Structure 1
Amino acid sequence: MDRQKCMEFLQSVLQPLLIPSNCSIHIGNRYDLWISENQTNTNTLQNMSKISGSSSKFGANMAYHHCTLLFDANLNNLSEVLKPTFNDLITSNPVVTNIFEGQEDQFIHSMKDFQQTLTLSQTWSWIYGNSPSFQLALENYEPNLSYLTNQFGSIVIDCSRGGVFKSIGFDHSHNCIVDPLLKDFLSELSICLHGAECRTNSWDFILDQFVSKKLIQLNGENMSNEQLLIIKALKMISSLF
């Protein structure tokens, strides 16, 4: 992906809208957009105001490029909320302004395949399908499991790249002696949920089926409080995806 070409595309879309206001759009060396009055004597950024910043991420098969656009922002409020906590980390602090007002429809709805692209960017596979692998500790979602953590170590979910459930088990870094029955229970859960995507509430049906089969195996006996808390924590996590 060529970031310069992306910004040139935005420049070509916005520039015709600014003809009545006698302003010009310029691309900065950080792939941002600046606006100036045409009668400005020099094209240096010191004589312009910034209307857009951009950021990008490049992967093997996919590239992301997003940019902001100050259209009708309250610049006074913006200035107040953007006061930095660590001044030494700020590398760019330009003067900003809003772009020419009242023209949203002209440059949003005139873009070819805009709705199709918007729909794609809102899908689960686009948002989460390329996420890196991650771990989640159950006690962060079910505080009542903290006593198990103190005894045996954290119960951790491992999810592989792309937001897919991989396994659940105790964090072995604590070198604790683990309850064998609880360890077997977590192994059964790992098999049950393995390969499940991290979608909102998508684990609920799988977990309900797991509990039903478990109760049949127990032949009328109840599941332990620890087991029920683990199921509860997993459903809580699933609801947050």
Structure 2
Amino acid sequence: MRQDIMNETQLEISVVVPVYNEAGNCGALAREIAGVLDGRRYEIIFVDDASGDSTREELAGVMADLPALRVIGHETNAGQSRATRTGALAAHGRVICTLDGDGQNDPVDLPAMIDHLNANPALGLVSGRRKKRQDSAGKRIASQWANAIRRRVLRDDAADSGSGIRAMRRDAFMRLPYFDHMHRYMPALMKREGFGVAFVDVGHRAREAGRSKYTNFGRAVAGAWDLLGVSWLIARNRNPGDAKEVHPDRRNG
């Protein structure tokens, strides 16, 4: 079904892809996403986080061929978490999927993750767990250490918090507290709000163009500060259980 003739209230899935200087990757990724979701009710939202290259022009160039594609541009670079939130705020789908814009996440994993989420109403998030990561040894080792420390402190059971491929309920995501780098703490934040979290193995590919926007040192500094903040958020949480609206008793009216 063509997305340009579909009422937005009928959309099931919104795929949100934050990108920053990903010319050479983003156009092909948009086409891949459209291919794997063919036959479903979906939209694709790329959020260009004030790229300094031709990312935005590349995406604009494929929009005519992909009616489901929307492109939102930040005026100022605000980071991956803010770009993801911008896309989620603009999304019309009940389910939000995310992918990293570098093309290393394989869109072919999305349908199974969406189906897994839909099959269990208690789940708020299905997060990818990368197997056979196509990254440098230094990056893999640093990630392993960071994941081990985070699991010990937060008890979130996440073996791969850096994986960008996810499927989640939009209403669940919008209840999470926003802060910079929150995308690395999705499982812990979802559990804090009382939602179930599942992890599934996904593929991982080598970067075809451009370079990573993160360094091991930069991740470590930001991660240490953020870990303290998330620990505080979890410690200060008070969950009321179900909240139900009370209606007047009309038996006596």
- TMscore range, shorter length: under 0.3
Larger Cα-atom Rg: 1
TM-score by length of 1: 0.26
Work out which structure has the larger RCO, using CA pairs closer than 8 Å and 6 or more positions apart in sequence. 2
TM-score by length of 2: 0.25
